[in-house]
């Protein structure tokens, strides 16, 4: 009788799973049909002959030719200015009506009434001098009401006010002469910044301090490496692979380059770290995808010729895989939450209790580990970055960064730069570091709570999940936002500095908490399942879900296209709920992927992600991440010519940025991150024990925290 009940239960589960699989397939085809429908339902992209009637968005005089004319002109005239032009509305012009109509689709098109221009002052002076006074006065257009952000604030650059007084009228007339001649239009032109061969940034005390700090680090590394070699006692390489019995010696060898190299390439000896080794590969691939997205942003923020190709991508579902790829950062959040949970559970298993004060100690411990390398790169941006290159776009990439870093460095080092002065970012990618740091604190609070109140584990996690959905839903509803983070080309031109949705929904921690909590919950469950020697569920249904995760993830990105193609009425309850569900679906996809890799659903994929090379690459990802914008600025803003956007040219730069970032990241990791981590281990490792009571060691306990 009992066996019959068991059999009926199994049959019932099989039927339910079959129904769920069928429903999944139906939903999958529904999404595919929706994507196909959207592809053909939106307004057709404008005909190219009509498109080419509009003024080019990016157009610059030859910088090197302008500079070469410097010896022939007065010293003050050897200047090159970059300006923004806003075309003046003229309803009698058919071309203006085309520009207005096309630009009104703000989600998929550039504002073609908003132009970037580079002017050689000597050329403009010669042109204006050839005009009579009445003609020049007629060409000048004063500032009119402009209903959108059109220029970077003057205080982001050096000496802009003086340049506007000297050259503002000259450039205004020069630009309007070209607009009248070619398009019979006029516009207001305002200087954003000026540059030239004699406009170098003078060296100051902060620049010298960077050199001194770099020299001190190098001296520490050399001295520590020599001392480590001196104490090796002919033990060979094995000396560097293990801790020394003397604590003082370990402190003195913390900066040893050879010892830190072996820390980078060594393999873990405990089973849990070995099981989760594939996380390093996922870290590496996720970082590569992040660089792809940032390169796409920088193409638009700098300049490129074929703007129509970029706009045409907004009409293709496949194009939206790249356009909406910013959601990939949720994978980082989920991994962070998962590893925090595993680390916490393995530590808690060795303790009788963990106090609330341990949260403060742990947060401080993390601060000390992460900040030195971060501060070093920040100081590099604030000092020597502007001195590396010149060119028409270089001040926009480097001078602005220098000024913002000197002004707002404290927001970065306090990890509040995603809330405070986020429209004047230093190391803009560091919003993620601030957000992750804040989420780390929240995750710790939740884990301590479920440890202290074990009867309410389900309740605590459930409330956390509801809050994670409710907060972004409320923000979307009351701010009248769309159901996804809409990446507009106009916002990309200023790298989202003026984009409200970026500031209110993309970078705050309270709107990104969902995937992090998902990772915390999944890590908690995995630890419980693993310690009970469960081999995992290997049912056909779960394997089917695992194989469908990547296609479903791609379709999720394509699904975002509906919010670009249609302007839904807002505020809307369904849009408010769609946003967190769509965003947090990434946590579900990530959990399924991790589950399948952990329990070896596909041996080939498991062997790829466990390839030994990914271990050091994964460990270097943090330093590569904080370094990569340094190279983005050099590769994109250091150019003299207007680039041509193509996938080949973009991925060429992606590869260059990744390789260069890992080279600099390896240097910073081996000389700062790893040594500071080693010093922490030897000097501060006992601080947590003051707030907890260790249990006697358990038999066969081979679980230790994974490398994070």
User: Residues 612-660: pLDDT tens digits?
Assistant: 999 999 999 999 999 999 999 999 999 988 999 998 999 999 999 999 9
Q: Find the DSSP H helices in 610-693.
A: 614-619, 621-637, 647-668, 674-683
- Give residue 438's Cα distance to chain centre: 16
Is the same domain home to 177 and 285? no
Q: Which pLDDT score, from 0 to 100, does residue 72 have?
A: 57
Dist. CA 459–CA 46, nearest whole Å: 54
Statement to judge: residues 283 and 421 lie in one domain = yes
pLDDT per residue over 222-254, tens digit each?
999 999 888 887 677 778 888 777 888 888 999
Residue 189, SS3?
Answer: strand
User: What pairs with residue 193 in β-bridges?
Assistant: 82
The per-residue pLDDT for 236 is 74
pLDDT score for 692: 52
| pLDDT band for position 298 (cuts 50, 70, 90) | very high
Same domain, 547 and 669: yes
pLDDT at 381 over 90: yes
Does residue 366 lie within any of the structural domains? yes
**581 vs 559: CA distance, rounded Å:** 13
| Final residue belonging to a domain, choices 195, 217, 237 | 195
Q: Give residue 197's pLDDT band: very low, low, confident or very high (50, 70, 90).
A: confident
Q: What is the pLDDT of residue 18?
A: 42
Q: What is the mean pLDDT of residues 22-47?
A: 49
228 domain residue, yes or no: no
Give tens-digit pLDDT for 144-195.
Answer: 999 999 999 999 999 999 999 999 999 999 999 999 999 999 999 999 999 9
SS3 1: coil
Q: Are residues 370 and 509 in the same domain?
A: yes
CA 557 from centre of chain = 17
Q: Report the pLDDT value the prediction gives residue 367, as an integer from 0 to 100.
A: 96
User: What single-letter DSSP state applies at residue 304?
Assistant: B
Q: How much of the chain is in helix, strand and coil states, percent to nearest 5?
A: 65, 5, 30
Domain boundary residue, one of 195, 221, 250 = 195
Mean pLDDT value across the chain: 87
Query: What percent of the chain lies above the pLDDT cut of 90?
Result: 70
The single-letter DSSP state of residue 698 is P
* 351-354 and 114-120 beta bridge pairing: unpaired
Q: When comparing pLDDT for 13 and 624, which is higher?
A: 624
What is the pLDDT at residue 70? Answer: 67
Can you tell me which residue has the tokens 């776009």?
Answer: 393
pLDDT at 694 over 80: no
Report the predicted TM-score, pTM, of the whole model to 2 decimal places: 0.90
pLDDT at 695: 44
Same-domain check for residues 343 and 458: yes
Asked whether the beta carbons of 649 and 599 are under 8 A apart, the reply is no
Residue 620: which of 653, 584, 668, 585 has the closest Cα?
668
**Tokens encoding 247:** 């604590």
Asked whether residue 248 is domain-assigned, the answer is no
Domain assignment present for residue 239? The answer is no
Domain boundary among 133, 168, 195: 195
Give the integer Cα–Cα distance in Å for 691 and 355. Answer: 6
Is 29 part of any domain?
no
Q: Tell me, yes or no, whether 187 and 321 share the same domain.
A: no
* Residue 89 banded pLDDT, cuts 50, 70, 90: very high
Same domain, 502 and 622: yes
The predicted pLDDT at position 651 comes to 93
pLDDT band for 538, please (50, 70, 90 cuts). Answer: confident
Residue 141 counted as domain residue: yes
Do 290 and 150 fall within a single domain?
no
- The greatest distance separating any two alpha carbons of the chain, rounded to the nearest whole angstrom, comes to 107
DSSP states along 193-253: EEE-TT-PPPP-HHHHHHHHHHHHHHHHHHHHHHHHHHT-TT-TTHHHHS--S-HHHHHHT
- Cα–Cα distance, 77 to 125 (Å, whole number): 9
For residues 338 and 138, give the distance between their C-alpha atoms in angstroms, rounded to a whole number.
Answer: 66
Tell whether 519 and 657 lie within a shared domain: yes
Domain count, the chain: 2
Is residue 461 very low, low, confident or very high in pLDDT (cuts 50, 70, 90)? very high
Lowest mean pLDDT among 416-430, 662-676, 682-696: 682-696
Instruction: Return the pLDDT at 705.
Output: 30
Q: Which domain holds residue 493?
A: 267-692
Q: Quick one: 386 and 511 in the same domain?
A: yes
**Span 5-23, average pLDDT:** 42
Q: Can you give the pLDDT at residue 684?
A: 77
**Residue % of the chain over a pLDDT of 70:** 88
Mean local confidence (pLDDT), 38-46: 52
Residue 167 lies in a domain: yes
- Above 70 in pLDDT, residue 14? no
Mean pLDDT of 269-296: 90
In a domain, 170, yes or no: yes
Task: Determine contact, residues 277/268, Cβ cutoff 8 Å.
Answer: yes
């Amino acid at each position: 009788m009992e066996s019959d009940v068991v059999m009926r239960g199994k049959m019932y589960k099989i039927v339910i799973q079959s129904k769920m699989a069928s429903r999944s397939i139906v939903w999958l085809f529904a999404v595919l049909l929706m994507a196909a429908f959207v592809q053909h339902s939106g307004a057709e992209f404008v005909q190219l002959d009509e498109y080419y009637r509009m003024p080019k968005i990016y157009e610059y005089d030859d910088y090197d030719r302008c500079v070469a004319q410097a010896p022939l002109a007065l010293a003050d005239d050897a200047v090159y200015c970059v300006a923004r032009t806003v075309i003046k509305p003229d309803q009698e012009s058919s071309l203006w009506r085309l520009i207005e109509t096309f630009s009104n689709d703000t989600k998929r098109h550039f504002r073609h009434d908003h132009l970037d221009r580079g002017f050689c002052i000597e050329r403009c002076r010669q042109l204006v001098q050839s005009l009579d006074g009445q003609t020049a006065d007629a060409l000048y257009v004063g500032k009119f009401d402009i209903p959108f952000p059109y220029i970077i604030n003057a205080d982001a650059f050096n000496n802009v006010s003086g340049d506007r007084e000297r050259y503002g009228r000259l450039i205004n007339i020069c630009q309007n002469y070209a607009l009248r001649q070619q398009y019979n239009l006029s516009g207001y032109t305002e200087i954003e910044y000026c540059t030239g061969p004699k406009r170098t940034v003078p060296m100051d005390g902060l620049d010298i301090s960077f050199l001194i700090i770099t020299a001190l680090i190098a001296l520490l590394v050399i001295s520590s490496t020599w001392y480590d070699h001196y104490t090796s006692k002919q033990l060979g390489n094995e000396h560097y692979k293990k801790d020394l019995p003397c604590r003082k010696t370990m402190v003195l060898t913390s900066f040893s380059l050879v010892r830190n190299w072996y820390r980078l390439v060594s393999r873990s000896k405990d089973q849990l770290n070995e099981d989760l080794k594939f996380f390093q590969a996922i870290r590496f691939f996720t970082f590569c995808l992040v660089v792809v997205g940032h390169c796409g942003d920088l193409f638009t923020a700098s300049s490129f010729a074929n703007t129509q190709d970029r706009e045409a991508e907004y009409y293709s579902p496949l194009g939206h895989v790249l356009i909406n790829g910013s959601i990939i950062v949720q994978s980082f959040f989920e991994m962070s939450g998962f590893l925090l949970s595993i680390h916490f559970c393995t530590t808690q298993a060795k303790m009788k209790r963990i106090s609330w004060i341990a949260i403060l100690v742990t947060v401080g411990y993390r601060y000390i580990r992460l900040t030195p390398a971060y501060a070093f790169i920040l100081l590099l941006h604030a000092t020597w970055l502007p001195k590396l290159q010149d060119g028409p776009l270089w001040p926009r990439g480097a001078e602005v960064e220098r000024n913002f870093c000197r002004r707002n460095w404290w927001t970065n080092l306090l990890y509040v730069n995603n809330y405070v002065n986020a429209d004047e970012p230093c190391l803009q990618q560091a919003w993620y570091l601030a957000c992750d740091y804040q989420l780390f604190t929240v995750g710790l609070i939740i884990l301590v709570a479920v440890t202290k109140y074990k009867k309410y584990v389900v309740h605590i996690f459930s409330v956390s999940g509801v809050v994670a959905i409710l907060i972004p839903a409320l923000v979307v509803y009351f701010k009248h936002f769309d159901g996804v983070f809409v990446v507009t080309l106009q916002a990309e031109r200023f790298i989202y500095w003026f984009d409200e949705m970026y500031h209110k929904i993309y970078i705050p921690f309270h709107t990104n908490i969902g995937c992090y909590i998902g990772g915390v919950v999944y890590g908690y469950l995995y630890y419980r399942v693993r310690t009970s020697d469960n081999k995992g569920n290997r049912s056909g249904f779960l394997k089917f879900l695992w194989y469908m995760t990547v296609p479903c993830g791609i379709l999720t990105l394509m699904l975002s296209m509906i919010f670009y193609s249609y302007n839904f009425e807002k505020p809307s309850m369904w849009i408010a709920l769609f946003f967190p569900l769509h965003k947090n679906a990434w946590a579900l996809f990530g959990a399924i992927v991790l589950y399948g890799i952990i329990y070896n659903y596909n041996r080939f994929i498991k062997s790829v992600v466990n390839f030994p090379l990914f271990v050091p690459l994964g460990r270097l990802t943090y330093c590569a991440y904080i370094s990569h914008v340094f190279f983005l600025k050099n590769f994109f803003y250091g150019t003299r010519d207007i680039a041509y956007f193509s996938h080949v040219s973009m991925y060429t730069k992606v590869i260059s940025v990744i390789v260069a970032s890992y080279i600099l990241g390896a240097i910073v990791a081996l000389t700062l991150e790893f040594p500071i981590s080693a010093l922490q281990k030897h000097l501060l490792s006992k601080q947590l024990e003051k707030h907890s009571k260790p249990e006697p060691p358990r038999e066969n306990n081979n679980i230790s925290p994974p490398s994070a």
